[in-house]
Amino acid sequence: MVEVKVLSPADQIKQRVGRIKVPAHRPGILVEPRDDDMRRLLKHPNGIKFRSEGPIEWPDDQFTHRRIKDGSVKVVEQSDQHEPPRRPARRHDSEQE
Pairing between strand 56-58 and 29-33?
antiparallel
**Higher pLDDT, residue 89 or 95:** 89
Residue 88 counted as domain residue: no
Using CB atoms within 10 Å of the CB of residue 70, give its burial: 0 to 12 exposed, 13 to 18 middle, 19+ buried.
exposed
Residue 62 counted as domain residue: yes
Q: What is the pLDDT of residues 19-29, one digit of tens each?
A: 776 666 778 89
Q: How many domains does the chain have?
A: 1
Residue 4 counted as domain residue: no
Q: What angle do CA 76, 81, 83 make, to 5 degrees?
A: 170
Residue 50 counted as domain residue: yes
- pTM surpassing 0.85? no
Residue 42 counted as domain residue: yes
Q: What is the pLDDT of residues 39-48, one digit of tens each?
A: 999 999 999 9
Per the structure, the complete domain to which residue 35 belongs is given by 29-79
Residue 45 counted as domain residue: yes
12 sits in which H/E element = helix 9-19
